[in-house]
Amino acid sequence: MKNDKKIDKSTIFNDLFDNTYVGILVVDSNRNIILTNKRCYELFGYQEDELIGKNSSIFHLNNDEYLKFGEVAFKHVLDKKPMSVNFQVKKKDGTLFWAKISGDPIKHQEHILWTIVDITETYKIQEQLIEQSTLLKTVINETPYPIVLKNYNAKFVLVNEATAKLYKSNPDEMIGKDDGDYIPDKEMADFFRKNVQEIMNEGKTRIVYEDSIDVETNKVKHFMSIKKPFKNKDGENFILVLANDITELTNKNEELIKKEKLLFQQSKMAAMGEMISNIAHQWRQPLSMISTAATGAKLQNELGVLEKEELNNTLEKINLSTQHLSETIDGFRNYFQKDKKVINFNIEDAWNETINLIYMRIRNNSINIIKEIHTPNIKSFKNEFIQIFMNIINNSIDALSEIKEKRYLIIQSESTDNEIIIKIKDNAGGIDKDILEKIFDPYFTTKHQSQGTGIGLYMTEEIIVKHLNGEIFAQNIEFEIDNKLQKGVQFTIKLPIDKKL
């Protein structure tokens, strides 16, 4: 029984010899193969009996390589010095692979035992790693965005070309330095340091809007920087800063704001011009009435036939007309005053006031107005509504004045739980499809220079969208009045009821 349990070492070694992952090869002093294990002949794609007795040159690419291996490895081991090399070797089918070959002299014999491990995969991974890190370096250096890695003291650990360019330096030179070494503004450098330390302490990524100075041009640049703090495996703090140069964008934005202000100014001027022409219309009648009455009275007086009663009548007429003049001017003055506060009013009030302001134009062009207003009172800026209506109505009048048929201008309004919908349409024929897309663009006009600037509808949309949180769109529609098909454009305005103003 006891003997059964005895371990047979030679069996185990035999097993190990053939089942190990490592290829084993024994050669004599002439480099002829004496012994291989299973892994070895499989590794090279041979059968066992194909190898014994052959020269180990069959594993090499060519004779030069065979000799080279002899110099660097074989002779070395033959001198009783174990060693290991990575060498490219050849399979039976001619394909090559990288092997880690380690040699040991066999005691008391002129033989060498080689162990061979296929390291092709490791080699590939290594090569990939090198390739990837080169790629990463290229990306980091080629990107136009400054990328910087700083340690807790805000010293540069990694810097890309874009950053170096900004600081008129080169990436390697900058390592170990900080912003203060480059920008003259100490306060700015101090801010950069404190800011990154704060973020590292907090441990949260932050987006920071900051300015820096292009050392080369001495110009201020605006950046939107993403700052991402992290710790390495030893717990040391680092921060990655990715800066996005938004200088151009910021400048453009400022330009845009300036442009918008100008547009607003221009639209006020245009409206003013329109108003003055409206005032001229409105005043023509009362003025001529005053003038007629005054001339009449003067003539009668000169002829000595002016009765006291007649004079009183005339003065009364003049007085009434003057009042009318004064009322119209008040109306316009109110319209030009900016809304200071939100008031409670009905869409109909704003519509009526608008119509009053341009009544003469409407009458002179024989326009029939139809009102179907079914909306509750709202709290908003009334003058803005008047301005919106004024722009839309003036456009309709312009278009309607060109048609021969009976002219209509229709306002309809209704409301749902959360919005008010106002529709204003005319029967002036509508707008061409390709023009329709552009009517809200600033300066788009189909009118003569003296008639239109093309900002009426642009301003209208601005007020509705930006001030009143609503929307406006235009479409061509057909509808019926007096059993006749009418064609025109309809403006739909939608306004939220529960808006916060």
Ligand X SMILES: Nc1ncnc2c1ncn2[C@@H]1O[C@H](COP(=O)(O)OP(=O)(O)OP(=O)(O)O)[C@@H](O)[C@H]1O
How far, in Å, CA of 369 to CA of 354, rounded?
12
Determine if 73 is a binding residue for ligand X (CB under 6 A).
Answer: no
Compare residues 189 and 424 and give the one whose CB is closer to ligand X: 424
Positions in 219-278 near ligand X (CB under 6 A): 270
Q: Phi and psi for 92 in degrees, rounded to 5? A: -60, -40
β-partners of residue 411 are 371, 424
Compare residues 147 and 357 and give the one whose CB is closer to ligand X: 357
* Stretch of residues binding Mg ion (CB under 5 A), selected from 169-177, 280-288, 367-375, 452-460: 452-460
How far, in Å, CA of 130 to CA of 134, rounded?
6
Determine if 431 is a binding residue for ligand X (CB under 6 A).
Answer: yes
Question: Among residues 113, 159, 390, 439, which is the contact residue for ligand X, using CB under 6 A?
Answer: 439
Compare residues 146 and 456 and give the one whose CB is closer to Mg ion: 456
Compare residues 414 and 432 and give the one whose CB is closer to ligand X: 432
β-partners of residue 477 are 488
Q: Which does 447 bind (CB under 5 to 8 A by kind): Mg ion, ligand X, none?
A: ligand X
Question: Among residues 199, 243, 455, 464, which is the contact residue for ligand X, using CB under 6 A?
Answer: 455
Residues 6+ apart with CB under 8 A from 485: 478, 479
Q: Which does 239 bind (CB under 5 to 8 A by kind): Mg ion, ligand X, none?
A: none
In whole angstroms, how close is the CB of 220 to ligand X at the nearest point?
A: 38
Mask of contacts with Mg ion, 403-442, x by CB under 5 A?
Answer: ----------------------------------------
Determine if 452 is a binding residue for ligand X (CB under 6 A).
Answer: yes
Compare residues 399 and 472 and give the one whose CB is closer to ligand X: 399
How far, in Å, CA of 327 to CA of 350, rounded?
17
Determine if 472 is a binding residue for ligand X (CB under 6 A).
Answer: no
Determine if 410 is a binding residue for ligand X (CB under 6 A).
Answer: no
How far, in Å, CA of 147 to CA of 243, rounded?
6
In whole angstroms, how close is the CB of 323 to Mg ion at the nearest point?
A: 31
* Stretch of residues binding ligand X (CB under 6 A), selected from 55-63, 293-301, 438-446, 493-501: 438-446
**DSSP code string of 263-321:** HHHHHHHHHHHHHHHHHHHHHHHHHHHHHHHHHHHHHHHHHT---HHHHHHHHHHHHHH
SS (H, E, C) 113-142: EEEEEECHHHHHHHHHHHHHHHHHHHHHHH
Compare residues 352 and 446 and give the one whose CB is closer to ligand X: 446
> DSSP secondary-structure letter at 203?
T
Which residue's beta carbon is nearest to the bound ligand X? 456
Question: Among residues 395, 413, 427, 486, which is the contact residue for ligand X, using CB under 6 A?
Answer: 395
Determine if 446 is a binding residue for ligand X (CB under 6 A).
Answer: yes
Compare residues 145 and 444 and give the one whose CB is closer to ligand X: 444
Determine if 113 is a binding residue for ligand X (CB under 6 A).
Answer: no
> DSSP secondary-structure letter at 338?
P
Q: Phi and psi for 20 in degrees, rounded to 5? A: -70, 155
The total number of residues written for the chain in this structure? 501
Residues 6+ apart with CB under 8 A from 327: none
In whole angstroms, how close is the CB of 449 to ligand X at the nearest point?
A: 10
In whole angstroms, how close is the CB of 214 to Mg ion at the nearest point?
A: 46
Query: Helix 382-400 crosses helix 247-303 at what angle (to 10 degrees)?
Result: 70
Residue type, 464: I
In whole angstroms, how close is the CB of 288 to ligand X at the nearest point?
A: 28
How far, in Å, CA of 305 to CA of 310, rounded?
10
Question: Among residues 237, 278, 391, 486, which is the contact residue for ligand X, using CB under 6 A?
Answer: 391
Determine if 445 is a binding residue for ligand X (CB under 6 A).
Answer: yes
Neighbours of 456 (CB within 10 A): 26
Residue ranges in 358-498 assigned as alpha helix (H) = 359-364, 382-400, 433-436, 456-462
Determine if 395 is a binding residue for Mg ion (CB under 5 A).
Answer: yes
Question: Among residues 23, 229, 430, 456, which is the contact residue for Mg ion, using CB under 5 A?
Answer: 456
How far, in Å, CA of 339 to CA of 144, rounded?
48
Look-up of token digits 């029939």: 368
* Stretch of residues binding ligand X (CB under 6 A), selected from 69-77, 131-139, 442-450, 462-470: 442-450
Residues at the interface with ligand X (CB under 6 A): 270, 391, 395-396, 399, 426, 428, 431, 435, 439, 444-447, 452-458, 489
Residues at the interface with Mg ion (CB under 5 A): 395, 456
